[in-house]
């Protein structure tokens, strides 16, 4: 049980208010997409939910206030994949993914065979088994993104926070990663909150969406409710068409400008 409930979340960075009272709720076992233009505060919201930013208001994960959770307990509850993860170039892929087991280890961090098995399965699920002994510095951008995801999966937390998890992935791997997350959601009851720039993908995978603009949630609901032509045009300042994929989910297209 790891649903999220946030009420009136306000965050200031460097004393500058970034989030101005955001409400949102994610049912346990569902996928929630946070959308919005650059600088809207999506990453900030995710970091607040992850418990690594001080915030005002309330954020509950699995019924417990995030701010009051002990770090280790929080880490068993919430896994977070940042938009720009830091990867030490000399570390191997296997070593990195095993660090995902940290919240399950004692103070000295001694890994058991089980821990290694869990990490091994995470590698497998992301097609990375053959890369286990490679240095992170020798991985491509998309491979690294999958490595980071594997580390988050090795954490075995009930809530997965993904900040732009597919930006560097090719089409096939985008689908593979999103399908994997979707499968974990349905088979293991994982709750997923992700930011996604691709609105059509968000419409495909997310049960519910929140549109964040200027630190405020301006729309919330299913893809059909949130992704209307007028709203996207207004908030993104883009010329777009919203079509239907035939199964009731919107598909967002850019419309080319007149200039050559």
Partner 1 sequence: MGRVGARGADGSGPGAGSGTGPGATDAGFATGVVEPVDPAGADGDAAAGNGSAGDAVGAEATTRPAFETAPRRFARPTIALLAATAVLFLAVLIASLGGAAGLPVAGTAEALLNKLPFVHFDTGLTAVQQGVLDQIRLPRVVLATLVGALLAQAGAAYQGVFRNPLSDSGTIGASAGAGMAATLVIVYGGGPEHTFAGIGAVPLAAFVGGLAGVLASYVLGTLVGRGGTASLILAGVAVSSFVGSVQAFVMQSSTADVKQVYSWLFGSFTAADWGLVRLALPYAAVSVLIVTLHARHLDVLALGDDEAATLGLNPVRIRLIVLAAASLATATAVAVSGIIGFVGLVVPHVVRRVAGPGHRLLLPMSLLVGGAFLVLADLLARTALAPAELPIGVVTSFVGAPFFVLILRATRGRDR
Q: Which of 12, 52, 180, 233 binds partner 1 (CB under 8 A)?
A: 52
In whole angstroms, give the CA distance from residue 140 to residue 138.
7
Q: Which is nearer to ligand ATP, 44 or 194 (CB)?
A: 44
CA angle 151, 222, 225 (to 5 degrees): 140
Rg (CA), the chain: 19
Site for Mg ion in 135-174 (CB under 5 A): none
Contact assessment for residue 256 and residue 206, using Cβ atoms and an 8 Å cutoff: no
CA 238/CA 11 separation, integer angstroms: 28
| Residue 95 binding partner 1, by CB under 8 A | yes
Distance between CA atoms of 104 and 115, rounded to whole angstroms?
8
* 3-class state of residue 72 by DSSP: helix
166 lies in the site for ligand ATP, by CB under 6 A:
no
Q: Which stretch binds Mg ion (CB under 5 A): 41-49, 95-103, 108-116, 225-233?
A: 41-49
38 binds ligand ATP (CB under 6 A): yes
Burial class (CB in 10 A: 0-12, 13-18, 19+), 4: buried
Query: Residue 241 pairs with which residues in a beta bridge?
Result: 253
Q: Which stretch binds Mg ion (CB under 5 A): 79-87, 100-108, 133-141, 216-224?
A: 79-87
Q: Applying CB under 5 A, does 83 fall inside the site for Mg ion?
A: yes
Q: How many residues bind partner 1 (CB under 8 A)?
A: 81
Q: Give, in order, the Cα–Cα distances in Å from 106 to each of 50, 103, 151.
A: 22, 8, 18
Closest residue to Mg ion using C-beta atoms: 43
| Residue 94 in contact with partner 1, rule: CB under 8 A | yes
Which span (1-9, 40-48, 151-159, 182-190) binds ligand ATP, by CB under 6 A? 40-48
CB closer to partner 1, 31 vs 235? 31
Least CB distance from residue 236 to partner 1, whole Å? 20
Q: Does 51 bind ligand ATP (CB under 6 A)?
A: no
Among 13, 39, 68, 112, binds partner 1 (CB under 8 A): 112
Closest CA to 48 of 172, 215, 187, 254: 215
Question: Which one among 43, 145, 155, 191 touches Mg ion, defined by CB under 5 A?
Answer: 43
SS3 label, residue 89: coil
CB of 37 to Mg ion, least distance (A): 11
103 near partner 1, judged by CB under 8 A: yes
> Tokens for 61?
């994960």
Counting contacts by CB under 8 A, is residue 57 touching partner 1?
Answer: no
Decide if 119 contacts 154 (C-beta within 8 A): yes
Nearer to ligand ATP, 119 or 193 (CB): 193
Which positions touch ligand ATP (CB under 6 A)? 13-14, 16, 18, 36, 38-44, 83
């Amino acid at each position: 049980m790891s649903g999220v409930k946030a009420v009136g979340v306000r965050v200031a960075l460097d004393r500058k208010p970034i989030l101005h009272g955001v409400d949102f709720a994610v049912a346990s076992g569902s996928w929630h997409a946070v959308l919005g233009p650059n600088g809207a505060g999506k990453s900030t919201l995710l970091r607040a939910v992850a418990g690594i930013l001080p915030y005002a208001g309330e954020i509950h994960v699995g019924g417990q206030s995030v701010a009051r959770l002990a770090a280790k307990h929080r880490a068993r509850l919430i896994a977070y994949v940042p938009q720009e993860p830091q990867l030490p170039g000399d570390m191997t892929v296997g070593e990195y993914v095993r660090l995902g087991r940290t919240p399950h280890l004692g103070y000295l961090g001694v890994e058991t065979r089980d821990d290694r098995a869990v990490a091994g399965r995470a590698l497998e699920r992301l097609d990375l088994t053959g890369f286990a002994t490679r240095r992170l510095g020798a991985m491509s951008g998309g491979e690294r993104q999958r490595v980071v995801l594997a580390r988050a999966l090795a954490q075995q937390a009930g809530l997965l926070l993904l900040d732009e998890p597919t930006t560097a992935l090719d089409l096939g791997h985008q689908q593979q990663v999103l399908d994997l997350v979707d499968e974990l959601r349905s088979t293991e009851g994982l709750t997923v909150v992700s930011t996604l720039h691709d609105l059509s993908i968000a419409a495909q995978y997310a049960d519910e969406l929140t549109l964040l603009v200027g630190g405020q949630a301006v729309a919330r609901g299913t893809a059909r409710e949130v992704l209307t032509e007028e709203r996207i045009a207004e908030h993104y300042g883009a010329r777009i068409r919203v079509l239907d994929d035939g199964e009731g989910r919107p598909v967002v297209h850019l419309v080319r400008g007149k200039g050559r």
